[in-house]
Amino acid sequence: MTPAEQQRAEAARGFMPPDEGLALWKAATDADSRLGPALEVGSYCGKSALYLGPAIRDAASSLFCVDHHRGSEENQAGWEWHEPDLVDPAVGKMDTLPIFRRTVHDAGLEDVIVAVVGDSPRVARLWTSPLSFLFIDGGHGIEPARLDFELWTPHVAVGGLLAIHDVFPNPADGGRPPYEQIYLPALASGHFVEASATGSLRVLRRVGD
C-alpha cells in the first residue's frame, strides 16, 4: 500500500488524521463554555479526547466522554476493523475503557474529562444540560447514527457547536450514515449552519429554533 492509500484506508476506518484532530481542537476552542459543558459520543481509546481536552481545560469547562467501550459493530470479532488485543479475555468482549483511562491519565486530563460508560441513546434520553460543544463519533450504522442525531443534537445550546466525524459525501471515501443520518438532517432541520469542513470532520453552529 502506498502512504496515500494507507491514509485513505485509515480515514475510511474512522481514524482521525492530525489535520482533523487540530480542526477539532480549534472548534472546541471556539465554543462558548458559558453555554454549558462539552460532550463527545464515541471515545474508543481516547484519541479525539486528547485533542478536545486541552481546549476544554483552557475554558475551565468539562468534557463528558460517552462510550460503552464495547466497540462498534465494525470493531467486533469477525469484522474488518477488529483489533483482537482490545478484547477482555475474561469476558470475551471488547473493552477499551482501560486504554481510554490510561490515555486520559497520561495526558494529565483527569480533572477535565468525565467518562460516562454506557449506551449512547440511554444516556442521551436522561441528559438535561445544554451543551456548548457536541462531537458525534459513535456507532456508524444507520440506526446508531440516526439515534445519536435524534437524541443528542437537541441538547446543543443556541450558539453552540456540533462536530461530526466520518462525514463522506462521496460513497467511495467511506460509510454513509454519518453523512446521511447526522450531517444532512442537521442542515435540513434549519437549526444548524456549517461553520467549517476539514477532511471528514464537519463543524456546524446551532442558530436557533
Can you give the binding site for Mg ion, defined by CB under 5 A?
14, 137, 165-166
- Element (H or E) spanning 161, and its range? strand 156-164
- According to DSSP H, which parts of 31-183 are helical? 47-58, 97-106, 120-126, 142-152, 177
Distance CA 97, CA 69 (A): 6
- Can you read off the three cell numbers belonging to residue 120? 449512547
Residue 44 touches ligand SAH, criterion: CB under 6 A: yes
Residue 14 touches ligand SAH, criterion: CB under 6 A: yes
Residue 96 touches ligand SAH, criterion: CB under 6 A: yes
154, 162, 114, 173: which is closest to 134 by C-alpha?
162
As measured in angstroms, the least distance from the Cβ of 75 to Mg ion is 12
Residue 152 touches ligand SAH, criterion: CB under 6 A: no
Catalytic residue among 68, 140, 155, 165: 140
Q: How many residues bind ligand SAH (CB under 6 A)?
A: 21
Distance CA 117, CA 68 (A): 5
Which does residue 138 bind out of Mg ion, ligand SAH, none, counting CB within 5 to 8 angstroms by kind?
A: ligand SAH
Distance CA 172, CA 57 (A): 37
Select the residue whose beta carbon is closest to Mg ion and give its number.
14
Pairing mode of beta strands 63-67, 113-117: parallel
Residue 191 annotated in active site:
no
Residue 103 touches ligand SAH, criterion: CB under 6 A: no
Which does residue 206 bind out of ligand SAH, Mg ion, none, counting CB within 5 to 8 angstroms by kind?
A: none
Distance CA 17, CA 166 (A): 11
Stretch 63-82: interaction string toward ligand SAH, x if CB under 6 A: ---xxxxxxx----------
Residue numbers of the site for ligand SAH (CB under 6 A)?
A: 14, 16, 42-44, 47-48, 66-72, 96, 119-120, 137-139, 144
Catalytic site positions = 140
